[in-house]
């Protein structure tokens, strides 16, 4: 099981003359923020907002980069984890998340939820069609609407998919769109120009007969691209050089940065990674390696603010508190949403008696805030 941090750090990364790969700096700022993993970081209204996380329901926490201060906001109505939240106007939206059930049987949210930045309050919105509910999906904004792609419907058991949907906050309506070329979960979505990119992740539904958690090495290297102008999917020639699940991805200067995540290695069944890769999707045929993170982490949130990349949360190393046992539900929420899409769940062959690795009801998260600057 990976260990996690309970202290807060600030890490600055700047591209210096003669070093286009960047440089990371670690600045300790104290333990002012709740540790969390499988969370989301969102830039909105000139600040950063840390949303969700595995474990008990978390308060939204905002970070003011100008004063380097954190402010605790409204507590989420219940646990939300394995999500990529998005901001639109004065609200932050959650379309894909798990909210109850213990590992590996986490249940996806039955409704869209929004956090109102001005009112500091949560609101329950449209019901997600039952056969489109999932967590660990990619979520992104384009032209006033929110798009969700791929994910998994049955926790860490089954239901990895290629579903693609549109949610219109103005009408509170949900629309099914053409499936992506590849199934994936624990993945991300990034919009650059008029195109959406689905990248990273793995197929958590694949379990070896004698090892339930063998899915950590079932990573997806292909990057799929949806053109909003033509309504068609393609797949890039530029595959990720190293696949992970639970990383984060952002758009800075029309370049995609893919950061961290977890994968199987020769020495351990899964482990958080430090790697950061960059791609200009309109020009590049391969990904460029940039400076590694100081702290490896997965289940991490990422956002761009003031021409800098920020990441926060995630599991990676350091002292950890005692996690709940497998199968113990999280904080109570709305009623379960019934049967989920996906194949019949496999037997628990190889499922350990102790807590699972990663942020799956085990780790409580690294609250280190890291900053990458191109100046």
CB 149 within 8 A of CB 188: no
Q: Mapping DSSP to helix (H, G, I), strand (E, B) and coil, where does residue 297 land?
A: strand
Q: What domains sit in the chain, N to C, each tagged with a CATH number? A: 23-318+367-373 (2.120.10.80)
Q: What is the DSSP letter of 246?
A: S
In terms of pLDDT, which residue wins out, 369 or 33? 33
DSSP string of 309-325, one letter each residue? EEEE--B-SS--PPPPP
Supply the pTM of this predicted model: 0.86
- Check pLDDT > 70 for residue 139: yes
Q: What is the pLDDT of residues 165-190, one digit of tens each?
A: 999 999 999 999 999 999 999 999 99
Q: In whole angstroms, how far apart are CA 33 and each of 36, 53, 72, 301, 364?
A: 9, 12, 8, 14, 12
The residues facing 233 across adjacent strands are: 226
The residues facing 224 across adjacent strands are: 198, 235
**pLDDT interval class at 329 (50, 70, 90):** very low
What was the pLDDT predicted at 12? 39
> Mean pLDDT, the chain, as a whole number?
83
Q: What is the pLDDT of residues 30-79, one digit of tens each?
A: 567 888 899 999 999 999 999 999 878 889 999 998 988 889 999 999 99
**pLDDT interval class at 367 (50, 70, 90):** low
**pLDDT interval class at 80 (50, 70, 90):** very high
Percent of the chain residues past pLDDT 90, beyond the cut: 63
Q: Comparing C-alpha atoms, which of 89, 225, 250 is closest to residue 164?
A: 225
Range 295-310 average pLDDT: 92
- Check pLDDT > 50 for residue 310: yes
């Amino acid at each position: 099981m990976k260990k996690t941090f309970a202290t807060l750090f600030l890490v600055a990364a700047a591209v210096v003359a003669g070093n286009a790969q960047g440089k990371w700096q670690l600045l300790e700022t104290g333990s002012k923020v709740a540790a969390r993993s499988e969370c989301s970081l969102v830039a909105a209204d000139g600040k950063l907002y840390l949303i969700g996380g595995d474990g008990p329901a978390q308060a939204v926490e905002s970070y003011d980069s100008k004063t380097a201060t954190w402010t605790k906001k409204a507590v989420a109505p219940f646990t939300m984890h394995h999500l990529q939240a998005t901001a639109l106007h004065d609200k932050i939206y959650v379309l894909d998340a798990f909210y109850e059930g213990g590992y590996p049987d986490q249940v996806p949210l039955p409704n869209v939820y929004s956090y109102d930045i001005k009112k500091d309050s949560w609101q329950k919105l449209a019901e997600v069609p039952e056969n489109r509910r999932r967590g660990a999906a990619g979520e992104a904004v384009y032209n006033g609407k929110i798009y969700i792609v791929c994910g998994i419907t049955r926790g860490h058991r089954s239901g990895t998919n290629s579903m693609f949907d549109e949610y219109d906050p103005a009408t509170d309506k949900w629309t099914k769109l053409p499936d992506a070329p590849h199934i994936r979960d624990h993945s991300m979505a990034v919009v650059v120009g008029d195109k959406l990119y689905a990248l990273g992740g793995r197929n958590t539904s694949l379990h070896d007969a004698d090892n339930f958690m063998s899915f950590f090495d079932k990573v997806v290297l292909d990057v799929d691209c949806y053109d909003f102008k033509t309504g068609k999917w393609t797949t890039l020639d530029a595959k990720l050089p190293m696949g992970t699940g639970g990383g984060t991805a952002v758009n800075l200067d029309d370049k995609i940065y893919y950061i961290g995540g977890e994968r199987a290695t020769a020495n351990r069944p899964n482990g958080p990674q430090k790697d950061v890769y960059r791609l200009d999707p309109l020009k590049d045929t391969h990904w460029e390696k940039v400076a590694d993170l100081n702290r490896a982490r997965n289940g991490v949130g990422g956002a761009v603010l003031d021409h800098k990349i920020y990441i926060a949360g995630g599991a990676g190393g350091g002292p950890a508190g005692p996690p709940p046992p497998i199968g113990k539900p999280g904080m109570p929420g709305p009623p379960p949403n019934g049967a989920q899409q996906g194949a019949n769940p496999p037997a628990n062959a190889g499922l350990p008696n102790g807590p699972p690795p990663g942020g799956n009801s085990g780790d409580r998260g690294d609250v280190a805030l890291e900053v990458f600057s191109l100046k």
